Chains A and B, each alone.
Chain A
């Protein structure tokens, strides 16, 4: 091979990668999860709020990365916090990713069961999915990033298309009044919105692979802003189309929105199949991303070949995904992993940043 591929990602690739990891199950459930918190149609403000909060923490992540620009989170945590504590944080982070992966698998089988394949056994669906994923993961980070580059634009275009079509059932009355009950419901909805944007913290790892690290902050802003805007559009379209009361009763309101209208005269009357197709692709990129990073984490912690962990984690994901008994427990699983993620981002990152800063101060004052 002449030019052995540099293991580095372009700026666009990094941003698309992070966005692809963020967009996953949340796309279908978000309008409900937020509205459960707010009980008013103000959820879109919650999303903005969550985005702003995460921008702050995103800034912290960037600052932390600057201490060790060429190392991943897994590599520099032991350096900052010490071997035991650092690896403990790493394990928690990996646990979060394993749970995320399992959640995606389970969510996928649930949705395909409800809308596509009522008779095919879940095991078959999940196993084929994992096999395809492993084929990609084995290629390493570059092919994964390239896949995101191809699939994300397709996703955004298809979503824009089907959401535009839903305009015929859109009723502005459904999203009024804005802040009718004041700021309090908005705040209550924020946790739901926060959970949907989880995934931006992958920059902790991706930064090490970036070609132009100066662009990291831009990538961070883009990968929080684009999903936020995307979610706002979905939220407004769904609430506006179905109304708040109905959304609360639906497991996957975004899909139901597409089922609620028919456009006659064109080849297709209903467009949920399009959305399902691209949504499966997004679940795929999310799954592949976390599966790869979890394997990478283990491999970098133990120094062993990543292949072992890629193959080792696959059955684990499969088993965990089989644990929840019903849809409610599946969503519980989602809440659990999001809490772990929040711990990593909200607690571990600032702590590590503080320690790294102190260490640097101390060592520089030592030199003086």
Chain B
């Protein structure tokens, strides 16, 4: 857009302007600059150009801003009023001619503008970007520097609770859409001069602000550098959400597993930063990315650490079990009922056969049908308004399950299997990891339907192979299980008491290994 405007300008304007435009620098002459913005106004109805004379002088000046993005109180009271009404007498009419534009500019900057954040800008693109982001540009005739005044008034939600990662004990504050607030949430809860926010702008057409947060002197510098490099390499129109960014910087786009963690919980991010990981904040997204990740992080909840270690450990085991069931239970059922009746207890086998009597489909089709129904219910429940959604899923689940059994399409045991699977998949604390297991489940089911238990084992091998080959920012995905770091296993097999966790995860090679000293 900028380019096109510049181009048009170049053709029409005079020599001097041409040169300035070629450099993309603003001119000394206010009229020239105004022409540029006026032309913009043809396409930007919300652009405001307010021309005025400074105080009692006949010096021309103007402010340019986007009408809907700014705090008008600031513009009226702290910029326009100061420049027009409260302008000191000493600099008025009689003295005005003797004052050079440069002195006037400095005086304005130093004494007049009661705005907290003032920057200088000299190129059109810079000014335009600032205006588009909600700043106000002040230009004074005779000066080829403009002032960029921070008048941003972002439209945003109030801070709210977490949607997708709720804990019972602990804060439920979640990130919101605005980058500044998210940074504030981190600063506020992690008071540490080492907390570094490194800013990058991503996007060819829309410059989106991306912040890389890490603890200086703790995060491995090579990791930080790698994250920066990968983000710098992104060349795309626009980053709408951190999900865009994630897909551009992940190691293996073909993998079914997420290679960055996304979270809306500040405490999770802070815990990650304290372990030497890197967080990536994207403007406009309430989800912050954490890199690198290990597979197990998706099965952990911050609450594991807030509760005492015994319940923390037990609940963690429960979740591992739930993840296993949600992936394998339907296929185990399929394998045993279609291939290995002999391997299940006789009575159970008899009762399964009895309930399956009259079901016209093989177990695989039956399971596929029921799983499919559950997935649709879940998706429908998700998109509907909250109150309706719950009703739909409960009613749908009950009605479909019950009537499918009555109609003889599915056996009651299959309904139980599918229901347990669904419940277990809800126990996975991270949505994105849950999705992976959900669609992998269908793959296991086909393996089991083809070659039974053997297929299950082969699928397990296939998945494990993929996981050990996968890396997140060069760090092994299955660590600390493979490669084994005995030290780090205490946070995988158990949730060791906090006073036992004296060292940070070794694998990240943090610069400072020790988390706590003493007893």
Chain A residues packing against B (C-beta within 8 Å): 1-5, 10, 12-13, 112, 116-117, 120, 124-125, 128-129, 132, 135-136, 139, 143, 145-147, 149-151, 264, 267-270, 272-273, 276-277, 280-281, 284
Contact = CB atoms under 8 A, between A and B. Distances in A.
Contacts of A267: 345, 348
Interface in B54-92: none
A10 B462 contact: no
B457 interface: yes
Contacts of A268: 343-345
Contacts of A3: 222, 474-475
B484 A13 contact: yes
Contacts of B478: 146, 150
A12 B339 contact: no
Given A3-B474, A117-B452, A273-B343, A280 B481 contact: no
Contacts of B416: none
A189 B340 CA distance: 36
Interface stretch (B37-45, B265-273, B400-408, B465-473): B465-473
B161 to A, nearest CB: 36
22 contacts: A1-B474, A2-B473, A2-B474, A5-B471, A13-B484, A116-B453, A116-B454, A117-B339, A117-B451, A117-B452, A120-B454, A128-B451, A128-B455, A143-B468, A146-B478, A147-B464, A149-B481, A149-B482, A150-B464, A272-B343, A281-B457, A281-B461
B15 interface: no
B468 A146 contact: yes
B483 interface: yes
B176 interface: no
Given A117-B451, A120-B451, A128-B451, A2 B483 contact: no
Contact of A2 (B226, B462, B482): B226
A277 B453 contact: yes
A269 to B, nearest CB: 4
A264 B345 contact: yes
A216 to B, nearest CB: 18
Among B344, B476, B483, find the residue whose CB has the most chain A CB atoms closer than 10 A. Answer: B483
B116 interface: no
Contacts of A135: 462, 465-466
B474 A132 contact: no
Interface in B174-230: 222-223, 225-226
B434 to A, nearest CB: 22
Contacts of B461: 132, 136, 147, 281, 284
A270 B343 CA distance: 6
Pick the 9 closest A-B CB pairs, nearest first: A146-B482, A146-B468, A2-B226, A269-B345, A149-B482, A2-B474, A136-B465, A273-B343, A139-B469
Task: Count chain A CB atoms within 10 A of each CB in B465, B469, B483 and give the residue with the most.
Answer: B465
Interface centre among B339, B344, B453, B473 (most CB of A within 10 A): B453
B282 interface: no
B468 A150 contact: yes
B466 to A, nearest CB: 8
Contact of B465 (A12, A117, A132): A132
A273 B486 CA distance: 30
A223 to B, nearest CB: 16
A2 B453 contact: no
**Centre residue among A2, A270, A277 by max chain B CB count within 10 A:** A2
B95 interface: no
A152 to B, nearest CB: 10
Contacts of B454: 112, 116-117, 120, 125, 280
B222 A150 contact: no
B519 interface: no
A122 to B, nearest CB: 12
A270 B453 CA distance: 15
A280 B457 contact: yes
Given A146-B478, A268-B343, A270-B345, 6 more contacts: A2-B225, A139-B465, A143-B469, A145-B483, A146-B476, A150-B468
A129 B458 contact: yes
Nearest to B486: A12
B456 interface: yes
Contacts of B474: 1-5
A145 B475 CA distance: 16
B222 A269 contact: no
A116 B452 contact: yes
Contacts of A125: 451, 454
Nearest to A128: B458
B346 interface: yes
Contacts of A129: 458
A90 B462 CA distance: 31
Contacts of A120: 451, 454
Nearest to A149: B482
Interface in B484-498: 484, 486
Contacts of A112: 454
Contacts of B486: 12
Contacts of A13: 483-484
Contact of B484 (A136, A149, A284): A149
Interface in B341-379: 343-346, 348
A357 B348 CA distance: 66
Nearest to A135: B465
Contacts of A139: 465, 468-469
Contacts of B225: 2
| Listed residue (A117, A146, A270, A277) with the most chain B CB atoms within 10 angstroms of its CB | A146
Count chain A CB atoms within 10 A of each CB in B225, B458, B471, B478 and give the residue with the most: B458
Interface in B319-343: 339-340, 343
A146 B486 CA distance: 14
Contacts of A146: 468, 476, 478, 482-483
B481 A150 contact: yes
Contacts of B223: 2
A151 B464 contact: yes
B391 to A, nearest CB: 35
Contacts of A132: 458, 461-462, 465
A2 B468 contact: no
A4 B476 CA distance: 11
A135 B468 CA distance: 12
A266 to B, nearest CB: 9
Nearest to A10: B483
A150 B492 CA distance: 13
A256 to B, nearest CB: 14
Interface in B412-459: 451-458
A330 B423 CA distance: 47
A112 B339 CA distance: 12
A185 B495 CA distance: 51
A10 to B, nearest CB: 6
A277 B464 CA distance: 14
A325 to B, nearest CB: 23
Nearest to B455: A128
A135 B453 CA distance: 20
Contacts of A117: 339, 451-452, 454
Contact of B339 (A5, A116, A145, A276): A116
B299 to A, nearest CB: 15
Contacts of A273: 340, 343, 453
A132 B474 CA distance: 24
A273 B332 CA distance: 11
A120 B339 CA distance: 10
B490 to A, nearest CB: 16
A277 B457 contact: yes
B142 to A, nearest CB: 52
Nearest to B477: A146
Contacts of B348: 267
